Structure 1
Amino acid sequence: MGHLLLNLRNVPEDEYFEVKTLLEEHGIAYYETEPSRWMVSFGAIWLDDPSRLEEAEQLLADYQAERAEQARSDHEEALARGEAETPAQRYRHNPLAFIGALIGIGVILYLALMPFLTL
């Protein structure tokens, strides 16, 4: 029986291929399930050999930590170059979006609290 290693929901394609390559480089047997037609299931990478589960999970954890660190450094470099925006900067450049967001939040709060206010 296989063991789930990685659910492919919201996994970028490059990460998917890098994880498969990592498993192949270390000789860890795996198989894949495809996403369902109506996206009820998003597919996954499963291990054939349960005795290598800890090794595969450790490899995956190390890979994901390295990938997260790389993403952080890329984002910090983009911020330093002025290419990335924070949410506050985005709303300063587009105040109508900020006002729209506030109105949307207000409407949702009103609709959620209205039954309790009319008691």
Structure 2
Amino acid sequence: MSVLIFRLNGVEDDEAADVRRLLDEQGFDYHETSGGFLGLGVAGLWLLDSSQKAAARALIDRYQEERSARLAANYAALCRTGQAETTLQRAMRHPLRTLFYLAGAAAVLYLMLVPFLTLGR
């Protein structure tokens, strides 16, 4: 029976390709499913032999730890050289989107506070 070993929802393409390559190199038999047209399905990699789940999971966990350490080191290097993008720089790169998000957050905050602000009337 197939067992889900790796969800692909929200995973970057390079990470998914690396996991596929690792599974192929180690000889794990798997198949891939997509989320479907509306994204309601489970996008993931499924092992065909459930008895291999522990070994495959350990392989993927080790890869993700290495990837995390590599990306953290890369980000730290960018911060040291002053090349890391700040939140303000990201906001200024897309000013209309930033204004839209701020307006949405203000609207939600307003709708949450209106009942309390109008209690004494």
Q: Could you state the TM-score of these two structures normalised by the residue count of structure 1?
A: 0.80
- Which runs of structure 2 are paired with 1:38-117 in the superposition (5 Å)? 38-41=38-41, 43-87=43-87, 90=89, 105-117=105-117
Query: What CA distance in whole angstroms lies between the structure 1 residues aligned with 2:103 and 2:63?
Result: 42
Q: Could you state the TM-score of these two structures normalised by the residue count of structure 2?
A: 0.79
The residue matched to 1:36 in structure 2 has which SS?
A: coil
Superposition CA RMSD, Å:
2.7
Q: Which amino acid aligns with 2:48?
A: D
Query: What CA distance in whole angstroms lies between the structure 1 residues aligned with 2:107 and 2:13?
Result: 38
Shift of 1:75: 0.4
The residue that corresponds to 1:5 in the other structure is 5
The residue that corresponds to 1:36 in the other structure is 36
Describe the superposition over 1:37-63 as per-residue Cα deviations: whole angstroms up to 9, x where unpaired. Answer: 122235210011111100011111100
Gaps spanning 5+ residues in structure 2: where?
A: none
Query: What CA distance in whole angstroms lies between the structure 2 residues aligned with 1:102 and 1:36?
Result: 32
Query: What CA distance in whole angstroms lies between the structure 2 residues aligned with 1:40 and 1:105?
Result: 27
Query: What CA distance in whole angstroms lies between the structure 2 residues aligned with 1:47 and 1:55?
Result: 11
Query: What CA distance in whole angstroms lies between the structure 2 residues aligned with 1:38 and 1:105?
Result: 26
Q: Which amino acid aligns with 2:70?
A: Q
Gaps spanning 5+ residues in structure 1: where?
A: none
Q: Which amino acid aligns with 1:24?
A: D
Shift of 1:82: 1.0
Shift of 1:117: 3.3
Describe the superposition over 1:56-89 as per-residue Cα deviations: whole angstroms up to 9, x where unpaired. Answer: 11111100000000000010111111111333x6
Q: Which amino acid aligns with 1:40?
A: L
> Percent identity among equivalent residues?
34
The residue matched to 1:37 in structure 2 has which SS?
A: coil
The residue matched to 2:53 in structure 1 has which SS?
A: helix
